[in-house]
């Protein structure tokens, strides 16, 4: 700690937190302070260059969080443990390629297993934290852009391509050379380093300002409007949400409010998977009816002379505070934001109706099941287990869940289903 830090301030403080300085330059400096000269130089120059590429990639994905939601759609907890795991992968791959050779042996970048690096960093480390399709595509783009043979120099020949910002990697394994390269970087990040447009700063400031306005509005509402009913205030605050539901439940989308049709077969002949789809549709219908009744009651109160009941008052107070009412959430714990909750309920209702139609046509498993569009995906897998036990005549507790990226590996399974989560799919069965 600095000697100029006031002692009295330290004595009076309850909690002192240290926040690392932002920026790619500072991020790289922290990394190379953790990597000493012996670690960087223990292999050839190709390994040292690839370690810098990893450090650069780690800094970019971390500092890109500054530009939420234009950079990433949410704040992902990329940490130093991810960087350490990535470095271990590089060391292990180099150890296999140089096994039986003298220390410091150089590796031809063209012979390096780049696909393995992409796959491990995407699925096992950094990509394992990402749950958005757009963000996955961004991550894959960075991996293919940075981890490539033309970024590295080989046999004394310079690299044919530079890192973002025009950085050319030193063709050495000297820790000092990489520190000099880092110190030449600007202290202030530019959007071009993240492959973002120059005007992204304005968009970020606008988004942050809107978030502050929302928070201030919540505070103002919680301090006044929640204490007593004020029709004008409630109308002004709740109109966007009421209009959102009106768009979902208009006559052009009557299926949202309609009861799901029955299957053509008798109920006692349902398979476990068919019964599951029927029950999911019933749950979606009940939730939609609950929301429709609640918002219709609110609309009648704020726009005409509807009666303000205890349930309507409770729902309205929660919505004014920007929260999903407990009467809704206790039936399905979705997003805390009511607009997002309504949107997801509507999407699930339509998806489940399509699944019911596929079920009635005997084609439920002909297409992948999107687990994220189900209310109880765990129950779906249990239904698959029950149906497998019936078909095979085996005890249900002897079956094990098996999944594979390659459906051909499960070709002999008695009953299998392809499941999806975002852009990732796998074939699943019970054996």
Among 90, 103, 20, 2, smallest CA distance to 62 is for 20
The whole-number pLDDT of residue 180 equals 93
What DSSP assignment string belongs to 164-187? TTTB---SS--HHHHHHHHHTS-S
Largest CA distance in the chain: 87
Residue with tokens 């970019």: 60
The whole-number pLDDT of residue 221 equals 54
What DSSP assignment string belongs to 375-426? S-HHHHHHHHHHHHHHHHT--GGG--EEEESSGGGGTT-SSEEEEEETTEEE
The whole-number pLDDT of residue 422 equals 55
Residues 153 and 169: beta-carbon distance below 8 Å? yes
Among 21, 24, 20, smallest CA distance to 56 is for 24
Tokens of 272: 């476990």
The whole-number pLDDT of residue 287 equals 92
Q: Provide the residue-wise pLDDT of the chain in tens; the chain has 431 residues.
A: 567 777 777 777 776 666 678 899 999 999 999 999 999 988 888 899 999 999 999 999 999 998 888 889 889 999 999 999 999 999 999 888 888 777 667 788 888 899 999 999 999 999 988 988 899 999 999 999 999 988 887 666 667 788 887 888 888 889 999 999 999 998 888 888 888 888 887 777 776 666 666 666 555 555 444 446 788 888 888 898 899 888 888 755 667 888 898 888 888 889 999 999 999 999 999 999 999 999 999 999 888 888 888 888 888 888 888 889 999 989 988 888 898 899 999 989 988 999 999 988 988 888 888 888 889 888 988 998 999 998 889 998 898 888 888 888 888 888 888 887 655 677 777 76
Q: What is the DSSP secondary structure assignment for residue 123, as one 8-state letter?
A: I
Tabulate helix, strand, coil % of the chain (nearest 5).
60, 5, 35
Residues 406 and 418: beta-carbon distance below 8 Å? no
Tokens of 168: 């050319």
C-alpha atoms less than 13 angstroms from C-alpha of 341 in its C-beta half-sphere: 23
The whole-number pLDDT of residue 207 equals 67
CA 370 – CA 420 distance, rounded (Å):
5
CA 4 – CA 212 distance, rounded (Å):
35
Q: Which domains does the chain have, with CATH numbers?
A: 17-202 (1.10.8.720), 228-430 (1.20.1270.280)
> How far out from the chain centre does Cα 183 lie?
33
The whole-number pLDDT of residue 120 equals 93
């Amino acid at each position: 700690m600095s000697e100029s830090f006031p002692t009295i301030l330290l004595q009076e403080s309850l909690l002192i937190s240290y926040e690392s300085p932002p920026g790619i330059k500072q991020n790289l400096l922290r990394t190379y302070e953790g990597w000493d000269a012996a670690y960087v130089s223990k292999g050839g120059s190709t390994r040292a260059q690839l370690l810098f590429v990893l450090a650069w990639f780690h800094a970019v994905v971390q500092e890109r969080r500054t530009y939420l939601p234009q950079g990433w759609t949410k704040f992902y907890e990329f940490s130093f443990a991810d960087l350490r795991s990535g470095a271990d992968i590089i060391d292990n791959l180099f150890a296999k390629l140089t096994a039986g050779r003298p220390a410091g042996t150089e590796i031809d970048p063209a012979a390096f297993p780049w696909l393995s690096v992409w796959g491990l960093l995407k699925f096992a480390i950094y990509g394992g934290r990402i749950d958005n399709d757009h963000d996955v595509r961004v991550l894959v783009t960075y991996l293919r852009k940075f981890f490539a043979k033309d970024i590295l120099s080989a046999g004394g020949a310079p690299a044919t391509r530079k890192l973002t910002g025009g950085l050319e990697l030193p063709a050495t394994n000297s820790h000092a050379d990489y520190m000099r390269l880092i110190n030449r970087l600007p202290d202030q990040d530019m959007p071009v380093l993240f492959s973002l447009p120059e005007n992204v700063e304005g968009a970020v400031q606008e988004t942050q300002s809107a978030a502050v306005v929302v928070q201030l509005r919540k505070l103002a509402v919680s301090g006044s409007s929640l204490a007593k009913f004020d029709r004008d205030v409630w109308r002004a605050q709740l109109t966007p949400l009421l209009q959102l539901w009106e768009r979902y439940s208009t006559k052009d989308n009557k299926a949202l409010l309609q009861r799901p049709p029955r299957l053509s077969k008798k109920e006692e002949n349902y398979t476990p998977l068919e019964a599951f789809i029927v029950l999911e549709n019933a749950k979606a219908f009940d939730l939609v009816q609950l929301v429709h009744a609640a918002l219709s009651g609110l609309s009648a109160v704020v726009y005409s002379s509807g009666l303000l009941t205890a349930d309507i008052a409770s729902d309205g107070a929660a919505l004014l505070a920007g929260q999903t009412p407990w009467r809704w959430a206790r039936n399905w714990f979705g997003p805390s934001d009511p607009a997002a909750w309504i949107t997801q309920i509507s999407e699930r209702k339509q998806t489940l109706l399509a699944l019911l139609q596929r079920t009635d046509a005997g084609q439920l498993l002909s297409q992948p099941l999107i687990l994220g569009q189900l209310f109880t995906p765990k129950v779906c897998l249990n239904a698959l287990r029950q149906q497998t036990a019936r078909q095979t005549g085996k005890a249900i507790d002897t079956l094990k869940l098996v999944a594979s990226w390659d459906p051909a590996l499960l070709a002999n399974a008695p009953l299998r289903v392809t499941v999806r989560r975002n852009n990732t799919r796998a074939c699943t069965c019970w054996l």
